[in-house]
Structure 1
Amino acid sequence: MGNDTSRSRRKFLQQIGATGLALGASPLSSLAAKAKTEERILRYERKITANDKVRVGVIGYGVQGHFDLNSALKVPGVELAGICDLYTGRLENAKELHGKDLFTTVNYKDLLDRKDIDAVLICTTDVWHARIALDALAKGKHVYCEKPMVYKISEGQPVVDAAKKSGKVFQVGSQRVSSIGYAKAKELLAAGEIGKLNMVNAVYDRQSSIGAWEYTIPKDASALTTFLYKFIEATEKMAFDAKKFFWWRAFKEVGTGVAGDLFIHLLSGTHFITNSKGPETIFSTGQFSYWKDGRNLPDVMSGVMQYPDSKEHNAFQLTLQVNFISGTGGHEVIRLVGSEGVIEVNGNNITVKHSLMPEAPGFGGYDSLFTFSKSMQDEMQKEFDAKWTPEQKKRKTKEDIIFKVPEGYSDHVDHFTNFFDAIRTGKAVVEDAEFGFRAAAPALACNESYLSKKIMTWDPIAMKMK
């Protein structure tokens, strides 16, 4: 194969510098119009420094608690000061991983009382989020709260108010909003790369027992080893059920199902990219398709939301989908559809595809023209050809582009970096309590719509159900 042929087939990789979410830097979207490139790498050159030490306590050391702590400790200057969990086996695991002298407890208030803890990571079951967040803010702690920020819509405004009053940093844990890929999608949409937005299709499918929350339950699980009395303190009294403790997302008594776990990622991402404050109408439906294991929240669920015309964006419709037994093998995508193309957000990578209409209107082909008399067809064809040039009749073309984050990039670490930077410098976080509530409320309304079989109406400005 000749060099020229080889070069013509080789993808051109244009390195683009980006630092965090600094969208005010040189506009990357302008390069899309100037250079015809097939694939571009978003180079990440963020420097992380530790100006001050921040000591954290973890409340809830399950799957997400482990992931969150691991990411937090990758940020320089962050130290672990204590862990709370209700299962004794996880407290043993904490000491095995972080040293036998680590402070552990089954009472989260013990962590809040410690003077050497600056911030807490709330990684508990959903039903505990609001209560612990309010207690932590009252104790003067900075708060990183896993999504959904609240278990009930009624809990949202009190948390928003408390966060503002406290003067402390409050960040919700939907890490994609800190992604350089999402920042790029936001920039491309604002630059008009796909014309006017009119629809968003968002999917988060899985196909595995772990993906469907059937986590391994320890052999010693009991009311004693899980401190059941504390687990159910925020709920109605219930008998011990190992599934409700270890598979809690699947049960409405303590969790919020696919809506609170995965719809909310899609909502957070959509709101960040579009600058939206939220939808006005919400409808959801679901079914128990495969994981019939005692859960009382669906394993297949869809939602439809209508977003109003606003100063931030044109009116658009959002469709949401989670399928826990998807023959696709599972995937996550947010597809932003505009009048001139599509932005597909796959994880942190972005694909931009264009489809532009010709300037001239449709005429001929699959049209009623051929049903007219021959003389009428000829007369109208002559008039059409006189009005529109051959160039105006053609569809315009525009290069499709793929933007990829560098290998090894972690939006999760970025999200925690933003949290600790805010603690150290006082800068605002992207996903504060208000943003978190604006994402949580529509997700939780999906559960209410599913259970009541009604269309829910939401005021995205006042953040209240109508």
Structure 2
Amino acid sequence: MKNDNSASRRKFLQQIGATSLVAASSPFASLANQAKAEERILQYERNVSANDKIRIGVIGYGVQGHFDLRTALKVPGVELAGICDLYTGRIENAKEQYGKDLFTTTNYKDILDRKDIDAVLICTHDVWHARIAIDALAKGKHVYCEKPMIYKISEGNPVLAAAKKAGKIFQVGSQRVSSIGYAKAKELLVAGEIGKLNMVNAVYDRQSSIGAWEYTIPKDADAMTTNWDRFIEVTNKMAFDAKKFFWWRAFKEVGTGVAGDLFIHLLSGSHFITNSKGPESIYSTGQFSYWKDGRNLPDVMSGVMQYPDSAEHPAFQMTLQVNFISGTGGQEIIQLVGSEGVIQVQGNNITLKHSLMPEAPGFGGYDSLFTFSKNMQDEMTKEYNAKWTPEQRKRPTKEDIIFKAPSGYDDHLDHFTNFFDSIRTGKPVIEDAEFGFRAAAPALACNESYLNKKIIKWDPVSMKLKA
């Protein structure tokens, strides 16, 4: 099925050509990302031959499944071949949207068995990700798997092995990895604009019931309409619970909470910008602050991670925060703090502010100097003035750098374009199974740390838990 947005793409191309994406006089404020964005738009515009068509199946047609499919169909040459969901109401919804002849099923293996499906989008509950991904790869399908790639850390290496054996394109769905804004942040960090990195502060807050996962539950929800027995095939046996099916993110039996939903975005983005393999120690704490609706994973959570000194980056500490009853109204911010400045990433927009130390050491003011005798103060002041010129005592200044993605830019669309381009060309994606595991493991370790009240040790190179 085709979705032609060529007019809107042309309008975007005109906008991007007329917009100053970087407002600064810094030599590093290149328009490289403008060129990249223009190249991507031109790819959207290209003609697609019959041999280039990619037919997809969607497994899990909930909120994210709807968003993912809608975006995937904006990429030229992508066609919908089938949808799978356990809830009968979503099967009905799929036929209402795409026609009564659309192939639908409540068994994901029916999607994998179809010869006319090239790739699958796995948008299910977290607890099903690994099993479906491994089965899809074994059937020769390319895989787009929503984040987190896995539900348990122990599932990571089996998925990695399956992806390697299959030789198919495997991409995890943290779209910020494909953002032109994040690419700019990476460029600025590599250019040394903030000096030596030492800390990353990452926040993803919300202030709404839907943001806290209290999604609307249909009136006909029961064990039959949700195929509950099939749903719990990969879990411990549980009695039907509509909340665990429709509010699943909030329950540890089937979801991964704020760590798997939002920490994972912050980790994926930070790992991309810093080129990091991951932390070596993870600790988290949380509380039930407001949404006391039966959930067993917290609505306020913080994590602290220590990243080792490595070939990719200096040692730095990372703090993570999610607050589901935030008086800020909600925010998503990653701050990379260095010895000479800070890069603030908000969505696809970047702000860089410099703060440089003077060459001369501090002297006077809020200092111990005034507590000395008058003679000692005079003697030491004279020595300081003789050693350091007025210029050496001043803080050097550099202009701020501001990067703004053009109006209408969509990193989700870029992420899907990267996925389908890789299927066509064989070029590797950035957020492959290894990248996905390196982000998922520390996120899931936050849950383990919270639940067991301990520091988790992780080997970011071998991707293994340490005793």
Normalised by the length of structure 1, the TM-score is: 0.92
Task: Specify whether residues 357 and 112 from structure 1 end up closer, same or farther in structure 2 by C-alpha distance, changes over 3 A only.
Answer: same
Q: How far does the alpha carbon of each residue in 1:266-289 deviate from its partner, in whole angstroms, 9 at most, with x for none? A: 000000000000000000000000
Distance of 1:239 and 1:161 partners within structure 2: 34
Other-structure match for 1:462: 462
Structure 1 residues 53 and 36: alpha-carbon distance in aligned structure 2, compared to 1, 3 A threshold: closer
Distance 2:111 2:18 in 1: 48
Distance 1:373 1:174, change over 3 A: same
Shift of 1:34: 3.9
Counting only pairs closer than 5 Å after superposition, residues 349-368 of structure 1 correspond to structure 2 as 349-368=349-368
**Structure-1 residue corresponding to 2:298:** 298
Q: Which residue of 2 aligns with 1:235?
A: 235
Whether 1:245 aligns to 2:245 is yes
- How far apart are the structure 2 equivalents of 1:34 and 1:160? 40
Letter in 1 for 2:111: L
Residues 41 and 403 in structure 1, CA contact (< 8 A), matched pair in contact too: no
The share of aligned pairs that are identical, in percent, is 81
Shift of the alpha carbon at 1:14? 8.8
1:81 equivalenced with 2:74 (yes/no): no
Rounded to whole Å, the distance in 2 between the matches of 1:340 and 1:89 is: 55
Alignment of 1:188-199 (within 5 A): 188-199=188-199
**Retained in 2: the 8 A contact 1:14–1:41?**
no
More moved, 398-407 vs 258-267? 398-407
> 2: CA distance between counterparts of 1:382 and 1:230?
82
> Contact (CA 8 Å) 1:42, 1:406: kept in 2 or not?
no
Distance in 2 of aligned mates of 1:61 and 1:465: 33
TM-aligned CA distance change 1:144 to 1:35, over 3 Å: closer
Residue 278 of structure 2 corresponds to: 278
Q: Following the alignment from structure 1 to structure 2, what is the Cα–Cα distance between the partners of residues 255 and 88?
A: 21
User: Which residue number in structure 2 is paired with residue 420 of structure 1?
Assistant: 420
Mapped partners of 1:33, 1:67: distance in 2: 38
| Pairwise CA distance, 1:15 | 5.0
Deviations 1:263-322 (A, max 9, x none): 000000000000000000000000000000000000000000000000100000000000
Return the alpha-carbon distance in structure 2 between the equivalents of residues 32 and 144 of structure 1. Answer: 40
RMSD over equivalenced CA pairs, Å: 1.8
Deviation at 1:424, TM superposition (A): 0.1
Per the alignment, residue 134 of structure 1 pairs with 134
Secondary structure of 2:26 counterpart: helix
- The separation in 2 between residues aligned to 1:36 and 1:127, in whole angstroms, is 43
Match among 9, 33, 39 for residue 26 of structure 2: 33
- Spell out structure 1 runs of 4+ moving beyond 3 A: 13-17, 34-37, 39-43
**Cα distance in 2, alignment partners of residues 445 and 251 from structure 1:** 16
TM-score by length of 2: 0.92
Q: For structure 1, which segment, 160-169 or 317-326, has the greater mean C-alpha deviation from structure 2 after superposition? A: 160-169
In 2, the alpha carbon distance for the partners of 1:173 and 1:131 equals: 17
Query: 1:108 matched to which residue of 2?
Result: 108
Gaps of 5+ in 2: 1-16
Which aligned pairs between 1:434-445 and structure 2 lie closer than 5 A? 434-445=434-445
Question: How far did 1:97 drift?
Answer: 0.6
Report 1:172-211 matches (<5 A).
Answer: 172-211=172-211
Task: Tell me the residue number matched to 2:10.
Answer: none
SS state at 1:318 partner: strand
Checking the alignment, whether the CA contact within 8 Å between 1:41 and 1:405 is kept in structure 2 is: no
CA distance in structure 2 between the aligned counterparts of 1:34 and 1:346, rounded to whole angstroms: 23
SS for the counterpart of 1:74 is coil
Say if 2:303 and 2:319, in contact at 8 Å, map to a contact too. Answer: yes
CA–CA separation in structure 2 for the residues paired with 1:36 and 1:176: 21
SS at match of 1:219: coil
Matched residues in 2 for 1:81 and 1:294: separation?
38
The answer to whether the 8 Å contact 1:137/1:166 transfers is: yes
> Which residue number in structure 1 is paired with residue 327 of structure 2?
327
Q: How many residues are aligned here? A: 442
Letter of the 1:406 counterpart? P
Tell me the distance in 1 between the aligned counterparts of 2:455 and 2:247.
29
Is 1:403 paired with 2:403?
A: yes
Alignment of 1:55-94 (within 5 A): 55-94=55-94
Partner Cα separation in structure 1 for residue 341 and residue 18 of structure 2? 22
Offset of 1:33 from its aligned partner? Answer: 2.1
Structure 1: distance between partners of 2:276 and 2:103: 42
The answer as to 2:333 corresponding to 1:336 is no
Answer whether contact 2:28 2:191 (CA < 8 A) is retained.
no
Aligned residue identity for 1:108: Y
